[in-house]
């Protein structure tokens, strides 16, 4: 069972303009999205610990930059 539900995937798809996402596609995408979220969070926590911070703030942004992940349709520049 996935933490990211099929319904969540359908809502996200609708919010970015994909109105005809099939139920099977949403069900297939959910585990992959969960995996990617876990990967980003693990990288963020590692960055937080290396920088000796107590709160997870800019570390998420650093992890996204490290993975070259596009956020809100904007490409991130490699540092």
pLDDT in tens, the chain (79 residues): 678 888 889 998 999 898 898 989 998 999 999 998 899 889 889 888 888 888 877 777 778 887 877 776 555 555 4
Separation CA 78–CA 9 (nearest Å): 28
Which pLDDT score, from 0 to 100, does residue 68 have? 79
Which pLDDT score, from 0 to 100, does residue 72 have? 64
Which pLDDT score, from 0 to 100, does residue 1 have? 61
In the chain, the domains with their CATH numbers are 6-66 (1.10.20.10)
């Amino acid at each position: 069972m996935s933490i990211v539900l099929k319904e969540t995937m359908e809502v996200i798809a609708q919010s970015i303009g994909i109105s005809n996402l099939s139920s099977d596609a949403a069900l297939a995408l959910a585990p992959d999205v969960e995996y990617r979220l876990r990967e980003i969070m693990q990288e963020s926590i590692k960055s937080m610990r290396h920088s000796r911070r107590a709160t997870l703030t800019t570390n998420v942004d650093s992890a996204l930059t490290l993975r070259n992940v596009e956020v809100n349709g904007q490409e991130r520049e490699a540092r």
